[in-house]
Amino acid sequence: DLQKIKSPDGEVTRYFDPGYMNTVNCRSSIAFIDGEKGILEYRGYSIEELAEKSTFLEVAFLLIYGELPTIQQWKKFNKKVMTHTFHHNELRNMMKSFRYDAHPMGMFVSAMSALSTFHPEANPALAGQNCYDDPIARNKQIYRILGTAPTIAASSYRHRIGREYNSPRYGGYTENFFYMLDNLNDSDFKPHPVLVRALDVLFILHAEHELNCSTSAVRHLASANTDIYTCIAGGAAALYGPLHGGANEAVLKMLTKIGTKDNIPAFIEKVKNKEEKLMGFGHRVYKNYDPRAKIVRKVAEEVFEVCGKETLIDIAMELETIALNDPYFIEKKLYPNVDFYSGVIYKAMGFPPDFYPVLFTIPRIAGWLAHWSEFLDDKDKKIVRPRQIYTGHRKRGYELKVERD
Ligand code: ACO
């Protein structure tokens, strides 16, 4: 509910809006969402068409620069990103110091934030507050972050399974990522093209979603002129939460816990009694089927053709059917979101559940970079600073309650 709050000076009316349900804090031309109709467009292109015809790196270019690349622009962008895929040996050593079973997202957030110390020339706190005004300097951070993110992600995965980290190889962006994950470290290893394309499509679907929690976090940090590496680490930290990018991991845990189709009705009752949450369902903006979830279902079929059918998919599909026909969920407009099926696909591909949020983070970085760049150029930009309604004590006299040593 919105409440009008009179400020103490009586002149300003402020709105109490927890979760910023109705607060608009920027103009943006990156993503368009119609939550009632279930429409998502990146820079005016429908998500369905991009998922069918484009590639993730091309979509990253579109999001960041506003237009699809020409052949020349594409060649340069692809080369620049791919030549920035190596990470510094000291960063690698830092990652190696994590506990053997560290959550890959914890490693990712830390490594990304550590990158700011490797590039002081790109830190407004050290290099001057206008250091991103130069397009060459700004682009350099974009290439570096897009290039290094999959390498950091792959290293966090290799660490988690107790293996040496792999160096980047050749090929496209997503193909190279598969090489760096390669369990066998076998020089003959070639990722299955269907799986490469499936992950690339998932990357496209996860690349951008306007002012979600993590993108807002990035813009929030950027508003203080924080360096872009720390901004991206902050976005990843927000994404880590199970209500946001951690939902894919949470869905898998939920399906595993349900265990069999027979247990679904009892689980649904628990959801209605608010003892459980139906993870992968519901969305702040979509009050209709999430258009990305429809595409993810199709991707799942293609992946199962190669990897074999993941048994949890039957529970997921039955759960979806029951929920979509239940008045409780219909009334609350709760539909599957992008993450309801993505975890099942990642499981079929053989990824451990704690790696799923990392698989979401890699592509979302494209959206974060687009928002960062848009924010830098926004003539109305301001440091983000919401107001509060103070509910605590006032004007208390100090009284000693503890003995001083
Ligand atoms: N399961 C059961 N009930 C739900 C769910 C759910 N997944 N989501 C919302 N509801 C219910 C709430 O209990 C609430 O009921 P009430 O009116 O009786 O109090 C009502 O629906 C409205 O829910 P809110 O929490 O107010 O909706 P909000 O917009 O704040 O939250 C969110 C959106 C966080 C995504 C929520 O739906 C949720 O927690 N979903 C599960 C986690 C998830 O899948 N997150 C991924 C989101 S997509 C993404 O980040 C890529």
Q: Which pair of structure tokens corresponds to residue 387?
A: 């107001």
Tell me how far the alpha carbon of residue 279 lies from the centroid of ligand 1, in angstroms. 8
What does residue 13 show for φ and ψ, rounded to 5 degrees? -105, 125
pLDDT per residue as tens digits for the range 17-27: 999 988 999 99
Q: Can you give the pLDDT at residue 322?
A: 95
Residue nearest to atom 42 of ligand 1 (CA): 243
Residue nearest to atom 22 of ligand 1 (CA): 332
Q: Can you give the pLDDT at residue 3?
A: 64
Instruction: Return all residues near 243 (Cβ < 8 A) that are at least 6 apart.
Output: 213
Q: How far apart are CA 87 and CA 362, in angstroms?
A: 15
Tell me how far the alpha carbon of residue 354 lies from the centroid of ligand 1, in angstroms. 22
Q: How far apart are CA 294 and CA 354, in angstroms?
A: 24
Pocket of ligand 1 (CB under 6 A): 19, 212, 243-244, 247, 271, 277-284, 332, 334, 337-339
Answer yes or no: are the C-beta atoms of 358 and 199 closer than 8 Å.
Answer: no
The dihedral through the CA atoms of 382, 2, 33, 242 has a sign that is positive
What does residue 394 show for φ and ψ, rounded to 5 degrees? -135, 150
**pTM of the entire structure?**
0.92
Residue nearest to atom 23 of ligand 1 (CA): 282
Of 270, 284, 287, best ligand 1 pocket probe by most atoms within 8 Å of the beta carbon: 284
Answer yes or no: are the C-beta atoms of 236 and 352 closer than 8 Å.
Answer: no
Ligand 1 atom nearest the C-alpha of 213 is: 50
Answer yes or no: are the C-beta atoms of 15 and 22 closer than 8 Å.
Answer: yes
pLDDT per residue as tens digits for the range 291-326: 999 999 899 999 999 998 888 889 999 999 999 999
Tell me how far the alpha carbon of residue 17 lies from the centroid of ligand 1, in angstroms. 17
Residue nearest to atom 8 of ligand 1 (CA): 282
- Beta partners for residue 42, in sequence order: 31, 45
One-letter amino acid at 310 equals E
Q: How far apart are CA 57 and CA 75, in angstroms?
A: 11
Q: Can you give the pLDDT at residue 352?
A: 92
CA distances (Å), 38 to each of 189, 198, 318, 337, 391, in order? 40, 22, 22, 11, 39
Catalytic residues: 283, 339
Instruction: Return all residues near 303 (Cβ < 8 A) that are at least 6 apart.
Output: 194, 195, 198, 345, 348, 349
Answer yes or no: are the C-beta atoms of 222 and 343 closer than 8 Å.
Answer: no
pLDDT per residue as tens digits for the range 71-112: 999 999 999 999 999 989 999 999 999 999 999 999 999 999
Q: Can you give the pLDDT at residue 296?
A: 94
Tell me how far the alpha carbon of residue 58 lies from the centroid of ligand 1, in angstroms. 32
Ligand 1 atom nearest the C-alpha of 340 is: 44
Q: How far apart are CA 82 and CA 72, in angstroms?
A: 16
Q: How far apart are CA 368 and CA 361, in angstroms?
A: 10
Q: Tell me what ipTM this predicted complex has.
A: 0.96
Answer yes or no: are the C-beta atoms of 381 and 221 closer than 8 Å.
Answer: no
One-letter amino acid at 219 equals R
pLDDT in tens, the chain (405 residues): 556 666 666 666 778 899 998 899 999 999 999 999 999 999 999 999 999 999 999 999 999 999 999 999 999 999 999 999 998 999 999 999 999 999 999 999 999 999 999 999 999 999 899 999 999 999 999 999 999 999 999 999 999 999 999 999 878 999 999 999 986 555 677 889 999 999 999 999 999 999 999 999 999 999 999 999 999 999 999 999 999 988 898 999 999 999 999 999 999 999 999 999 999 999 989 988 899 999 998 999 999 999 988 888 899 999 999 999 999 999 999 999 988 999 889 999 999 999 999 999 999 999 999 999 999 999 999 999 998 888 899 999 999 888 887
Average pLDDT over the chain reads: 93
Q: Can you give the pLDDT at residue 405?
A: 76
